[in-house]
Structure 1
Amino acid sequence: MTQVEANPHMMGQQKTDVSMENISRPGQPTTEELVPSRYAVKIGEIEVLVISDGVLPLPTKMLGHNVDAAERAVWLENMFLPVDAFDWALNAVVVRSGAQTILIDAGLGLDPELNLPRAGQLVKRLESAGIDLASVTDIVLTHMHMDHVGGLLVDGVKERLRPDLRIHVASAEVKFWEAPDFTHVNMPPGFPDALRAAAKRFAKEYHNQLRLFDEEYEVAPGVVVSRTGGHTPGHSVVRVVSGNDRLMFAGDAVFAVGFEHPDWFNGFEHDPEEAARVRVRLLKELATTGELLVATHMPFPSVGHVGVDGDAFRWVPVFWDY
């Protein structure tokens, strides 16, 4: 497995000349952010680029609403994290397999009602990585939560996408959002309405581009999307396989706390008990195969392996390769 540079030359991007002359001064226009926002990995012959859509601040209760606040506080303190609010990473992935350029999930977009200025960075960061929206042949949605479809609803984005774009999503997911059930979630106020509105608008605006699958579909050579359910009825994961190398993009099936506490319920899970079963099954599989894992809400760049630690699991981030 070969890892390549974090910010430089994958997908047509030339390496930046890092010097004092290239550092923005007050009053100068800024062309580069002073934070890493993309990280490239080679899976055999397939190129994978993890892109940060920013971070989403949420109450820490969202990490495990079925456990006592004191128990959550212990985990947070052990991780040197604040006990009241937690910055959830938002990661999307671009995959190049053969002639296809595949975007997996589309970020949060811009919802003025929620006031989340540190998120919704995907389109800007795709451009910074040298990826033209018109070059994307396929989009795979792990599910239709707002932070996975919102980037497609930003003004001007649809017009920049190719007319023959294919958007792959599980048929069970589309059906669920026709009349979504929020009875088992534990979200902050405003989120259910925002999620419902974003999914409805997405389905209306992109229905002609949708390519539905039931359980599994090969999007491109070595790129397979599979429905897991749990987080939402149509939640799916994407496996990238080339030669002896493998990577799974697990969407929202795996969260940072889920390695030590896979039975903790995430506030956005529509079927938390099934989501926990899915999480354990995937983590066992990843620990057995040793393949790479990337997930939406793991800290950027979210590339690592899964180890087994007694009755729990262990996250093993890769060494940053640059």
Structure 2
Amino acid sequence: MSLENTRHPAGPGLDELVPSRYALRVGDIDVLVVSDGILSLPTKMLAHDADPAVRAAWLKDMFLPPEMVDWALNVVVVRSGDRTILVDAGWGADPNLPRAGRLAQRLEAAGIDLGSVTDVVLTHMHMDHIGGLLVDGIKDRLRPDLRIHVAAAEVEFWASPDFSRTSMPPGFPDALRTAAKRFLNEYRSQLRLFEEKCEVAPGVVATRTGGHTPGHSVVRLASGGDRLTFAGDAVFTVGFEHPDWHNGFEHFPEESARVRVRLLRELAETGELLVATHMPFPSVGHVAVAGDVFRWIPAIWDY
């Protein structure tokens, strides 16, 4: 992968009218944010514990529809030294969700061969983060020595997952269980488990935060004085103004809120870049703080 590969269509029919990849550099590390598409979900999922009237007012203030909202699905490709690292793998193939599961197509359009990926880091094992590896034919295109890094606590959790504190649409818990079980069956031999931290490549460190799931992790990049954090599902758009609101996919809501506040305060202090799975593409920006309320400041696109 190189920044040059992202500036030109890879071939007829592969380029799209909407932007779906965005390249930047963190010191000597190449970073490519890739859109896996969009997932439409009930707005209640953004804050199932909030007063409905307060939630509705927030949605109106944000110019968002009252009932259903589109969630971005972002993944990141990182090149550090001789390692090419895919951070999360997107939703995968689902005929019922035609706007999601675009990762393989968009990696191809960016000139990235799946066979060049040396490592995968999973922030957690929800199906919108592992599904791209379960698409028919994808495993055969991956390197046999591919290393998949995930927190040990995450693998342990999915042996018998607890959904008692979540608030998901019908069918989601069963789908998540099925996807995690299949993923572990297919890729267990390639897993590289870590407890709290794992340096995947020079300047690329996965760190377990817990909260969203027991093994939820963020990926932090540092090189030449530049820093960027890929926060996975620790941060959602609503979490800046209302970090205490509980997302419906959080297995441990109170701990998720503590993780979110701690991470946002740290990012506001350091001034480093933030990218997150469900922030609007390309989700590259900074965090500002005033008291107990945070503010998202999108970075100016570098053309």
Contact in 1 for aligned 2:236/2:278 (Cα 8 Å): yes
Structure with greater Cα Rg: 1
The DSSP-based 3-state class of the residue aligned with 1:147 is helix
For residues 143 and 2 of structure 2, the distance between their equivalents in structure 1, rounded to whole angstroms, comes to 24
One of 50, 53, 61 as aligned partner of 1:70: 53
Match of 1:111 among 94, 97, 103: 94
Aligned position for 2:279: 298
- What amino acid is aligned across from residue 92 of structure 1 in structure 2? V
- Could you say which residue in structure 2 is the equivalent of 1:5? none
The alpha-carbon deviation at position 152 of structure 1 amounts to 0.2
| 2:36 equivalent to 1:36 | no
Is residue 2:66 matched to residue 1:83?
yes
Determine if contact 1:66/1:265 at 8 Å carries over to the other structure: yes
Between the aligned partners of 1:147 and 1:14, the Cα distance in structure 2 is: 27
Residue 99 (structure 1) shift: 0.3
Query: Counterpart of 1:55 in structure 2: which amino acid?
Result: I
Q: Deviations over 1:140-192 (max 9, x none)?
A: 00000000000000000000000000000000000000000000000000100
Question: Using the alignment, how far apart are the partners of 1:228 and 1:216 within structure 2?
Answer: 10
Q: 2:173 aligns with which of 192, 210, 218?
A: 192
Tell me, in whole angstroms, the C-alpha distance in 1 between the residues paired with 2:73 and 2:7.
25
SS in 1 for 2:18: coil
Distance 1:179 1:16, change over 3 A: closer
Instruction: Give 1:15's aligned residue.
Output: 8
The answer to whether the aligner puts 1:163 opposite 2:144 as a matched pair is: yes
Cα shift at 1:69: 1.2
RMSD of Structure 2 on Structure 1 (CA):
1.5
* Correspondence for 1:275: 256
Structure 2 distance, partners of 1:135, 1:217, is: 21
Could you say which residue in structure 1 is the equivalent of 2:226?
Answer: 245
Q: 1:210 aligns with which of 191, 195, 204?
A: 191
Structure 2 segments unaligned to the other structure (5+ residues)? none
Structure 1 residue 14: deviation in Å? 5.1
Contact kept, 8 Å, 2:125 with 2:154, in 1: the verdict is yes
Aligned to 1:99: 82
Alignment partner, residue 254 of structure 1:
235
Identity %: 73
Code of the aligned partner of 1:215: E
Structure 2 counterpart of 1:56: 39
1:183 aligns with 2:164: yes
User: Shift in Å at residue 30 of structure 1?
Assistant: 2.8
Q: Scaled by the length of structure 2, what TM-score is found? A: 0.97
- Shift of the 11–311 alpha-carbon distance from structure 1 to 2, 3 Å rule, reads same
Q: What is the Cα deviation at residue 309 of structure 1?
A: 2.6
Shift of 1:12: 3.3
Give the AA of the match of 2:156: K
Partner Cα distance (1:71, 1:238) in 2: 33
How much does 1:10 deviate?
A: 1.6
Q: For the residues of structure 2 that align with 1:99 and 1:320, how far apart are their CA atoms? A: 27
SS in 1 for 2:244: coil
**Contact preservation (8 Å) 1:293, 1:306:** yes
Q: Distance in 1 between matches of 2:8 and 2:186?
A: 37
Query: Counterparts of 1:14 and 1:280 in 2: how far apart (Å)?
Result: 36
In 2, are the aligned partners of 1:11 and 1:129 still within 8 Å (CA)? no
Q: Report whether the alignment pairs 1:141 with 2:134.
A: no
Equivalent-residue separation in structure 1 for 2:240 and 2:66 (angstroms): 19
Shift of 1:111: 3.3
1:47 maps to 2:47: no
How many residue pairs get aligned? The number is 303
CA distance in 2, matches of 1:187, 1:30: 36
The aligned residue for residue 3 of structure 1 is none
CA distance in 1 between partners of 2:103 and 2:28 (Å): 25
Q: 1:105 to 1:11 in 2, by over 3 A?
A: farther
